[in-house]
Amino acid sequence: MIGELASPKNALYVLVLALVIALYLFANSPFFETDRIEWTGLSYLKSEQLDLYVNLPVTNVWRIDTRELVSTLMEHPWVETAKATWRWPNHVLVTITERTPLAQVPTPAGWVFLDKEGDLLPPADAGAVYFLPIVTNLDLESPEQLVATARLIGMIPAPLHESMSEWNASKRSFITRGGTEILMGQPVELEEKFALLEKILEDLNQRNEHAKRIDLRVPKSPVISYL
């Protein structure tokens, strides 16, 4: 009688053990192996660059530490945030939020980019061309000046983005792509100055006139000089 009762129980144990072993072998099979990451959210960086940066070997997706992967990506100068998720069966999807470059800055070592936080970024792609204003005469050793410049550039109204060619930090003046110098003066009343500048440039364009200089240092009394 005891043997008859034990037999079904032993059979159940054997079945459960076989199932566990089968699941283990299945989970560790090539079906779950991957050597690539699917990147989303990229505008400035390229997938190939990040592939080289993380250098992921052929790995079973169950063994990928997504927290470590995200931590590694957060050390990349162009990555603001990163989120890694797994999709059946062997897909690793990483969503990147890149830092936003606002301007290009020439340095003795080459071009760098100023982001919205006032940080300097190395080139994301040596062959890429960015239609961003150039910042000259900027003290790269002054965090305060970097942050102030980023704030100023970030306040440029969208309709004026393509018009601005250069910001001279020492003169506190813009140069438009048409060659007009715009004196901004002290970093006060910036919203008022930009709104006024937008109206002045629109009016000049409608009248088909070109100004040599627009002085907005006193926004209540702007001065327009012509060629």
Burial class (CB in 10 A: 0-12, 13-18, 19+), 105: buried
How far apart, in whole angstroms, are the C-alpha atoms of residue 149 and residue 214? 20
Please tell me the predicted confidence (pLDDT) of residue 144: 96
Contact status, residue 64 vs residue 8, Cβ threshold 8 Å: no
Token code pair at residue 62: 């169950």
Question: Which secondary structure element, helix H or strand E, spans residue 39, and what is its range?
Answer: strand 38-40
Decide: helix, strand or coil at residue 223: strand
What is the residue whose two structure tokens read 């940080």?
119
Q: Mean pLDDT per 10-residue run, the chain (227 residues)? A: 58 62 53 81 95 89 88 97 90 95 94 96 84 95 96 96 96 97 96 97 95 97 92
Domain 30-98 listed as CATH 3.40.50.300? no
Q: What is the pTM of this model?
A: 0.81
What is the CATH architecture assignment of 101-226?
A: 3-Layer(aba) Sandwich (3.40)
For the chain, what are the domain ranges?
A: 30-98, 101-226
